Structures are given as structure tokens and as C-alpha cells.
Amino acid sequence: MTNEKVGAAASGPFCVPAEQLQLQDLRGLGKARLEALATAGIRTVADLLMDVPVSYRDTSLVMPIADLSEGQTACVAGTLVQIRARYIGKLSIVQGFVRDDTGGLGLVWFNQPWTGKQLRKGDQLLLYGQVTRYKDTLSLQQPTRVMHRGILPVYRRIEGVPNKVREDCVKQALNGVSIICPETLPEALLRRHRLMGLPDALRVAHAPDNDEQLRAARRRFAFENLTLYQAAIRLLRGSAEQGIPMPVPDSFAQTFWRLFPFAPTGAQVNALHTIANDLSSATQMRRLLQGDVGSGKTAVALGAAMLAAQAGWQTALMAPTEILARQHLQSAQTVLGPAGISVGLLLGDMRAAERRNALDAIASGAWQVVIGTHALISKSVQYNRLGLVITDEQHRFGVRQRALLGEGREGLSPHVLVMSATPIPRTLAMVVYGDLDITILHEMPKGRHPVRTLIVPPIKRDDLYAFVRQRVQAGEQAYVVCPLLEDSEESDANSAKGVFSELEAGALRGLNLGLAYGSQTSQEKEQSLRDFREGRTHVLVATTVVEVGVDNPNATIMVIEGADRFGLSQLHQLRGRVGRGTKESWCFLLGDPNERLKTLCSSNDGFVIAEKDLQLRGPGDFLGTRQHGHFAPDALGISDMRLIEETRACVRDLATKPVLAQEWAMVQQAAMARYSRAVEEIAMY
């Protein structure tokens, strides 16, 4: 039906064939709103329809007030018997009280002063919200007024595009959905896996009639997202390459671990054994070494580098920052130097003469282990016998970026080991790291004390910094991390520069304070961090620039200003900067208690925290891919292990069974159209 009419055809002065419909043809979208949609990644009508709701409000069932309990989300109907507004400083609070035949319920809105003007005593209200306890009264917090009954879509917020306008545009576009969003999966695949067709799934997603329909539509989106994403990963990875077999001496592991002043954990021993088996194979290793902060990933990686060097091959270790690269250099020289292995450093901002010497040492093979940043993949670098590529904090490098170092020469491909200190749930890892085998370090070295984590309300801030002064005077050091660099009229969050000035003149007067932030020159930043590591600075005030790779065993205190503004995984990463020595360490979370902060206080296990972070944020935010669109956050199926296994098997069959070659071609085309950029640019928080 190629002449299907949509848009304003039903109620406006013009008709546009579905295949020609553009966003500007939809009623209600002017230039400013079109620009806002484009900024959010919605540039076509198909983008609009594919950006399905993130959640739903079920207003089809009205709950009696007497049956409500704290923590549930509900729709209630009743008469407004009280409404009043007040201010506490800049905070506006509107409180009300509603009654039905079974009882009464409080209402509370924060920072919505207009609500008090819109409502009048005696109004008959239908309200939807979460039941909480406010000042010992069971209440609906931030409830929304319901004008329609049913299962109502909730879209991600787009600044400058009111929800009502967006909903109307979606309704217009749905008239031509079968033309605008044609099926992307093969019909035979849909039948085999009992999947709803795409046009029908989109109709249901935007306007569901019942829960059963909605579950079927969500399964369709989850299956498609997982299948196409894994297909894109598989295509970017390519087929298994012929690797460089490296002989492993029988006594290698014992010889290597004797280079350390401490005994390895069982997890480290097992990980190095697995990697050694990979390196001895004729197939290229592609392995992720994942472990919590302080679990000993670098030691395992250096073992792999030593094995490669003894076999006559070079290793390139790529770090995301110069700071981390220099720390790896120091570790490698300490461990590998006594074994007679030469180590060198290549950075992007080296002086010309220093860079020439480095390039010569790499090309001649004088350096057996080369450590650096993105400079390692520049065209001017010629390796001698590159046999192993290691990338640290690998989520900061795209699939293609890390593949550049692993490109084969003379038919052989260097082995690839990638490391990440960002714990993520196993289900998520199976999707995100679809091009890698996974090894997890699940033990911490002996002697490490768990970091004591406490929420500190702003009213106790002075007491906290008095404690920091006390510990610093006892010879320890502290971090103070702030959410902003400079004060802003748009935010009341404390800034690094503001806190630095305040502490220097007040609570920490007389102590040596340092300041580090991302927009400093690399020399300034390195000097600030070096002064802190070497003890010349007692307290380092910083932005999240210290989140990765800053190692100071004497730092025992982490203060996070405005902690309620940070994500859970990022808070855990920041906490990992302390507790790296043998002294008791603390992490103080300055801010109002919330679920994220309470979770952090209850566990030091990064994988437990990652699971909770995934629940709180959804995979779209967790992966940093929501800006790419199409990653339906609540429908991705990332917590459904059975669906992940089903889609992995589906992709494997499509790629390997000749009878499915035609279906595989269609899936490949859809996968690269949707996810090629997202796979390369993916970044986890």
C-alpha cells in the first residue's frame, strides 16, 4: 500500500504519502522543536517511532487508598480536601491531602510551585505516583494528574519538546508505520522465534491495549536489539585470525610470580594460566580481563608481556591517559626490568627528538614492551615483531580502535588482551564484549581492608573536614572530588575551584592542597598528581579526572562533594582510589541519602554494585548508548539470560549455516545500519 496517507491527513489541510513523510510534515513541530529532536538523535519519522517509551503508567486500575502500601506505584481517585504551598530557602513544597471512600492520602510536590495554583479544594482528582512516607504521612510523591485511563506511554525527556506534542506526532506517524518502519528481520526468523512483526510491535509499544500485548512487543524489541548488536560486534570483529604461537616454559608461572613481593591470588594464577594457554595457540587471543579496582589485573598483564618477550615478540600496552601510561611504565620497569626485559614509553606530546628516539627503539626491537596512549596507533609507529596488544580501561577504546593495533602482518595477528576495572553484570558483558572471551578476577589481594563508606549530610560537613585535618596531620592523605570545575548559575553543586579556595582559607588552612581537573595541560595535571603521589600535597581537590589510574597507597580518605549527583558505578570507581595500601580507609559521601548512596555503603563488591546500577539506570544509560537511539532501555532484555542465550545461538546459526545465508545477509545489513557507530563509540560509566 505505497500510497498510504499519514500525518495531518486526518485533520489538517494536506496529505503526505508515508514513504515521503518527514518530521517537518508532522503537525506541532516547528524549527526549534525539530532542532531539539535532532539533538536527541531523532532526525526522521522512523527515528521518532523507533524511540519507544522507556516505561508505562498503568492508570487502568484505580486503587482504594486504604489498600496502598509504601513503595508501590499506584493510581488513585479522590477529592482534594487540602492544598498549600510553602518555601524552604529556594525549595518550594506543595502539600495536599486527598480522600476517597476508604481513607485519606497525602500529596507532595517538590519544586513545582505552579501545582498549588492549578489545584483547588474540592477538585475531583485522578492521580498517579509512588507511595512514600513524608513526615510520617503516607503520601503520593510528585504525582501526575491523569486525564486518560489505560496503559500510558512514558517517553524519555527531550528538552524543548513537550510530551503532549510528542505523543500527538507519534499518533500521526503511526498511521503509516508499516511503510515508515518496514520489517527488519527475515520472516522465517520471526516464525522460528515466535516474534511479533515490527510495525505491529511499534503500534503496541506506543499504544498498548493490555499487558500481554506489551510483553510480546517488548520481547520483539529485546530480541532484535540483542541480535543486531551481537551481529554488528561479530562483523566488526571478523572471523578468528591465525595467531602467533608462543611457547610457554613449564616453570614460567613460578618464575614470574617470584618477581613480586607478595603472593598472587588464586584468581590471578588462574587468569595467567588461561592467557598463557591462549598465547600458545595458533589462533589469535581476544580476551577481556575484567576485575574490580585493586584486583591485580596489571600484574597478570605484565605476565603476558613477559611471556611474549621471552618468545621473541614485542608487546604494546595502550592506556587511555598519560597519567595511567606513566604508572604502567613504572610498574613494568619494576617487575620486568630485573628479568632483563626492556620497557619504553611513547606519548603524543613528546618533544621531536624524544619521539624520534622512541620510534627508533620500537622499530629496531630495542624496546620489548612499549607503553603509551593513542600515540601507539599512529601511522608513524612501526613495530618490530608485535605479538601482543594490551589495552587498559578498554571501554575508552572502540572495537575498531583496539583492532588497529591487532591488525595482522604476514598472515599472523597479534594476540589481544583488554582490561577493564569497570565491573559490569555477566549478562551485559556477554553482549558488550561479544568479540572477546572473558576472564574475571573475583578476589582481592590479602591485606587489603574494605573501604568504610559513610553518607555525610551537608550539615555535618565541618565535622567531616575536621576529621580529614586530623588524619592528614597523622601522616595520611585525602582526595576531595567535586561534580563541577567552576561555580555555575545553573547548578548549586560545589565546584572544585570553589571548594579548593574555601578549604585552603578555612577548614584545611595550613595544609598543602593541590588542584587537578581535565582541562589542565597534561604537564599541569601530571605535576598536580605527581605532587600528590610523592606526598608534597596533603589533600588533592579534583574533578573526576582522578577516577581512573591514580595510585597513591598513602591516600586513605575520599570525600565526594555532591555525591548524590554521581552515578553508582562512578562512585565505586572513585572509592577505589583509596584502600590501596594496608591502612584503614574511608569514603565519605556528602549529600542527601538516596538508593545509590545506600547501595554503595552496603557493599564493596563492584559486581554487586554494577547489578544494582543496571537496575537503577537501565542499559541505555549504563552503556552510554541512549544518545544513539534504538536501545529501548527497558526492553533491551539485558537481564534476561535466556533471551541472551537464544539470540547468541541465533546469530551463531545465521553466520555458520549455509542454509541461512540469505537471512544472515539481511541481518548483517540491518545490524550495520543500526549499530556500527554505537559499537565503535560505546562508553561505560
Q: What is the pLDDT of residues 560-583, one digit of tens each?
A: 998 888 888 788 888 988 988 778
Which CATH superfamily includes the segment(s) 252-280+296-420? P-loop containing nucleotide triphosphate hydrolases (3.40.50.300)
In 506-573, at which residue ranges do the beta strands (DSSP E only) sit? 513-516, 539-542, 555-560
Torsion angles phi and psi, residue 303, rounded to 5: -60, -40
Burial class (CB in 10 A: 0-12, 13-18, 19+), 269: middle
Look at residue 441 and give its three-state secondary structure.
strand
Torsion angles phi and psi, residue 103, rounded to 5: 165, -170
Q: Establish how many alpha carbons lie within 13 A of residue 331's alpha carbon, considering only the half-sphere containing its beta carbon.
A: 22
What does the pLDDT read at residue 177? 93
Amino acid letter, residue 101? D
Q: Which helix (H) or strand (E) holds 528?
A: helix 522-533
DSSP state of 283: B
pLDDT digits (tens, 9 = 90+) for 289-331: 888 777 889 999 999 999 999 999 999 999 887 878 888 999 9
> Which pairs from 352-360 meet CB under 8 Å and 24+ separation?
none
CATH class held by domain 61-145 = mainly beta
pTM over 0.75? The answer is no
Q: Which residues lie across from 130 on neighbouring strands?
A: 73, 141
Task: Report the distance separating Cα 14 and Cα 22, nearest Å.
Answer: 13
CATH architecture label of 452-603: 3-Layer(aba) Sandwich (3.40)
Distance of CA 599 to the CA centre of its chain: 17
Residue ranges in the chain modelled with pLDDT below 50: 1-3, 7-14, 395-400, 402, 406, 408, 489-491, 622-635, 681-685
Output the furthest CA–CA distance in the chain (Å, rounded): 87
Task: Report the distance separating Cα 566 and Cα 591, nearest Å.
Answer: 10
Asked if the domains at 252-280+296-420 and 452-603 fall in one CATH topology, the answer is yes
Contacts of 89 (CB under 8 A, 6+ apart): none
- Joined together, the cell numbers standing for residue 345 give 614509553
What does the pLDDT read at residue 450? 84
Contacts of 32 (CB under 8 A, 6+ apart): 160
- Joined together, the cell numbers standing for residue 319 give 592506556
Task: Report the distance separating Cα 196 and Cα 194, nearest Å.
Answer: 7
Centre a 10 Å sphere on the Cβ of residue 111 and count the other Cβ atoms it contains: 11
Task: Report the distance separating Cα 636 and Cα 368, nearest Å.
Answer: 44
Burial class (CB in 10 A: 0-12, 13-18, 19+), 130: middle
DSSP state of 409: B
Residue ranges of domains in the chain = 61-145, 252-280+296-420, 452-603
Q: Which residues lie across from 138 on neighbouring strands?
A: 133
